[in-house]
Amino acid sequence: PHIIAPSEIITDPNLTFNRTSDIAIAQLNCFNKQLVMESILTESTYTILLLQEPWVNLYTLKIPSYPAWHELMPYDYQAQTYQDKICTCIYISKRIPSWQIALLPSKSPLLTAVELTFPQGKFSQIQLLSVYNPPRH
C-alpha cells in the first residue's frame, strides 16, 4: 500500500482545515478512566484521537461529548449492558468540518472506523481505524 505523505493531500483553502500536514493523530488506551479522557480531550493539540478502552457513562453506555470534538463510536453496535460496552472510539477536532467525516459500519465494540474526504488533492479519502485487541488471559 502507498503511504500518504502529508504534502500529498490539499483540501479547499477556504476551509478551516486546509491540508493533511495540519493533522496530528494520537492513539491512546484510556484504561476506562474518566480523568484520562478529560485530560486528553480538554488539553489536546491533536486533530484526531484514536482511543481504546474509553471511559463510557455507566447509565447511557455512551462516550462523553466535548464542544471542540466530533465524537464517533460504532453506530451499528448497541451495548445492552456495561460489560458489553464499546472498546474503541474516535474523536476528531471540529476544525475538520463534519461533511468531511463519514463513520463506517463495524458491528463490533472492538472497532471504530471513519473515512475523511478531501475535495482536492492527489488522494481524496483517508480511512482511520481504532481497534481494540483484548488481552489474552
pLDDT digits (tens, 9 = 90+) for 9-64: 333 334 435 455 568 899 999 999 999 999 999 988 899 999 999 999 999 999 99
Please report the pLDDT score of residue 122 as a whole number. 62
The grid coordinates listed for 92 are: 476528531
**Averaged confidence pLDDT in the chain:** 83
Q: Is the dihedral of CA 3, 104, 69, 55 positive or negative?
A: negative
Give the Cα separation of 82 and 70 in Å (integer): 23
Please report the pLDDT score of residue 23 as a whole number. 80
DSSP string for 100-124: GEEEEP--STTEEEEEEE-SSSS--
Give the Cα separation of 41 and 59 in Å (integer): 21
Give the Cα separation of 49 and 124 in Å (integer): 21
